[in-house]
Amino acid sequence: MRQETAPARWSADQVLALAPDPAAARAGQALGTPRPWRDTGQSGDPPLIWGSCRGTSRVPYDVCVDVGGPAYRCSCPSYKNPCKHALGLLLLWTAGHVAEQAEPAVPEWARQWRQEREARRERAAGRAARRSDSEAAARTRQRRAARVEAGIDELDRWLNDQVHQGLAGAARAGYQHWDAMAARLVDAQAPGLASSVRRLAGVASAPDRLLTELSLLRLVVTGYRRRDSLPDDLAATVRSRVGFPTSTEDVLAGAPVTDEWSVVGIRDEMEERFNLRRAWLHGTATGRDALILTFAPPGTALPGDLVLGTQFEGDVCFYPGRGNLRALVKCRHSPPKTFPDPPGAAPTIQEALHRYAEAVAADPWLERWPMLVTGVTVVPAPLAESGEAQPWHILDSAGDALPLNRWAPAPWRLLAAAGGGPVTLFGEWGTEGLRPLAMWADGRLVRP
């Protein structure tokens, strides 16, 4: 199709999401009009965009953005990254005001910057990860192990106590009840367990859910006590559930999985006052799913280097643990490209659930599972005359259906684009149902 040849432009929302703070977003918006710009251009796919911006000072700033990174360069003195000029230039581009140019038109300074970045990337890739293995580190590890051991025992007593006294009472307890135990687990250096306990408050009024979550915590306890007799990968899963950290260096030192990775879903959330982004990848050849987690303190931008609906060839390193989905992108071998339909989707809902069962078998504590399924259609909730709201569903041609998460906003855009026909859908599957994050209909990516 003729329209596929032009490089994909981002949405303005996508650009504004990169702003390190609201002030930068506002200032960037003010610069997103053609007036302050001179000599703008774009080249390549994903494009390199450049321009010079006449700011308040009379010296124009040279601005350049590599959309593939994305990475930004600006001659202004701002410490913000991206600065308002880079944001403005990106907005100008999203509005279609930046003309495409051939490679020779790329200004010298922009070309140089691009070369420097490539060189730096190669150096970083070549650097070997170093680790300190001193005695002091060993002592710290021992101390931590002892604390965790005590914390595990305390948690076990507490879990037994809940069941001994009855969950009906726990349901009436306030947040304090859960937070107190969570705080003791933080002191015991078991942050993974601490946040699991804190989240119990949310299910306290649903006894079925509460017993499930309590029993899964008990499963961590028993698993941890028997860690020496567990297979290594399962022991690693248990350790990560307890909250033992794994350093980025260790992860990157592991064996990489080389594949063509498609970004099939992105979800941003606030978690414990941090901005958290979950980017879900799916490998074409290996069929593996990967979860790239990134955090940003309040007021700073989450990195926008993984763009929904694009794929790249690259190396991904997984965190240790059986069935662990969390991973890091080690390096990319190709610039991102858009794809019309993600590869490797489960052809039926039965098959998707079968894959989910395998994932639960590997990691029984799995909370969110990346469900990628094709040949389904979106079914809206029946028009409610009265009573409680019904959930939406996805439905395949075999007549199997799955409920959509009723806490997520009703996905009208998905219904509109599907129009009752079959589509490919990606979402996070959990006990509350499926939370759709992306859909592909007629070769177009649709966000809910």
- Positions in 67-96 near other proteins (CB under 8 A): 91, 94-96
Closer to other proteins by Cβ: residue 52 or 311: 52
Rg (CA), the chain: 25
Q: How far is CA 352 from the centre of its chain?
A: 20
Shorter beta-carbon distance to other proteins: residue 234 or 316 = 234
Q: Does 287 bind other proteins (CB under 8 A)?
A: no
Cβ partners under 8 Å of residue 338, min gap 6? 8, 309, 310, 311, 445
Contact flag: residue 21 with other proteins (CB under 8 A): no
Nearer Cβ to other proteins (3/132): 3
- 167: contact with other proteins by CB under 8 A: yes
- Residue from 124, 272, 383, 387 binding other proteins (CB under 8 A): 383
The pair of three-digit structure tokens given for residue 207, joined into one six-digit string: 């006894």
What's the closest the beta carbon of residue 101 comes to other proteins, in angstroms?
5
Residue of 55, 107, 191, 207 that binds other proteins (CB under 8 A): 207
Q: According to CB under 8 A, which one of 141, 268, 412, 443 is a site residue for other proteins? A: 412
Q: Is 146 in the site for other proteins (CB under 8 A)?
A: no
Of 251 and 374, the one with the shorter C-beta distance to other proteins is: 374
Select 99 or 124, whichever has its Cβ closest to other proteins.
Answer: 99
Q: How far is the CB of 398 from other proteins (least distance, A)?
A: 8
Given 168, 255, 272, 386, the residue binding other proteins (CB under 8 A): 168
By CB under 8 A, tell whether 204 contacts other proteins: no
Contact 207, 171 (CB under 8 A): yes
Instruction: Quote the least distance from Cβ 351 to other proteins, whole Å.
Output: 11
Nearer to other proteins, 1 or 128 (CB): 1
Stretch that binds other proteins, among 37-45, 177-185, 271-279, 336-344 (CB under 8 A): 37-45
Cβ-contact 407, 362 below 8 angstroms? no
Structural contact between residues 432 and 405, judged by C-beta atoms closer than 8 angstroms: yes
Considering only residues 212 through 241, tell me which ones interact with other proteins, judged by CB under 8 A: 212, 214-216, 218-219, 222-223, 226, 230-231, 234
Nearer to other proteins by Cβ, of 216 and 296: the residue is: 216
- Which is nearer to other proteins, 137 or 171 (by Cβ)? 171
Among positions 40, 311, 405, 424, the unique one binding other proteins when judged by CB under 8 A: 40
Assess 32 for contact with other proteins (CB under 8 A): yes
CB of 401 to other proteins, least distance (A): 4
Contact status: 423 vs other proteins (CB under 8 A): no
Nearer to other proteins, 329 or 402 (CB): 402
403 contacts other proteins (rule: CB under 8 A): yes
